[in-house]
Amino acid sequence: MARDEQAMHEFVEQSAAAMAEAGFPRMPARVLMALIAAESTGLTARELGDRLVASAAAISGAVRYLQTLRMVRRVSQPGSRRVLYELPEHAWYTVTMGANPLYDHLEALASKAVAAIDDPASLASQRIEEMSDFFAFIQRRMPELLVEWRTERAERAE
C-alpha cells in the first residue's frame, strides 16, 4: 500500500495546530508530530528541518524543549557525528502517566501557600488547597491508569 505523503503532512500540521491551540508550543508540537508520523525510528535535525521547512535553530529549540518533557530522546550514532531524535517507546502514555516532577512541585508550592495564608475561610486558600489536592490526586491515580491502559492495549493486540 502506498503512503499518502500529503495526508501525512496534513496530519502533522493539523495535529500540531490543535496542540498549539491547547497551549503547547507550536514548533515542538510540529517536531513531535513529525517524529510520530515518521516510518523510521528517529530523524536527524536536518531531516526534521527539511520535513518541516524550519531552521536549524527552530529545530534545536524544539527538540531541547521536548527532551525536557521526556517526549524525545537524543541518540548518538556510534562512529558518527550524526544524532537521531527518537520518541521513547509508548511516548504518549509514558510521558503523561509517568511521575511528573511538575505535579510534585506545584503541590508543594500550593501547600506552602495555604500555610502562608493560614485562614481556612479565605477564598484564595480554598482555591490553592483545591489545586494542591488535585495534583496529589493525579499523582496517586496515574500508576493505576497506566496499568489499566497497558491491559487495554494488550487485550486489543490479542
Q: What 3-state DSSP class applies to 98?
A: coil
- Tell me the C-alpha distance between 89 and 42, whole Å: 12
Per-residue pLDDT of 8-41, as tens digits, reads: 999 999 999 999 998 889 999 999 999 999 999 8
Instruction: Say if residue 62's pLDDT is above 70.
Output: yes
The larger pLDDT score, comparing residue 95 to residue 104, is at: 104
Query: For residue 136, what are the CA distances in angstroms to 49, 54, 105?
Result: 39, 39, 10
Cell of 110: 500550593
Per-residue pLDDT of 97-116, as tens digits, reads: 555 677 778 888 888 898 89
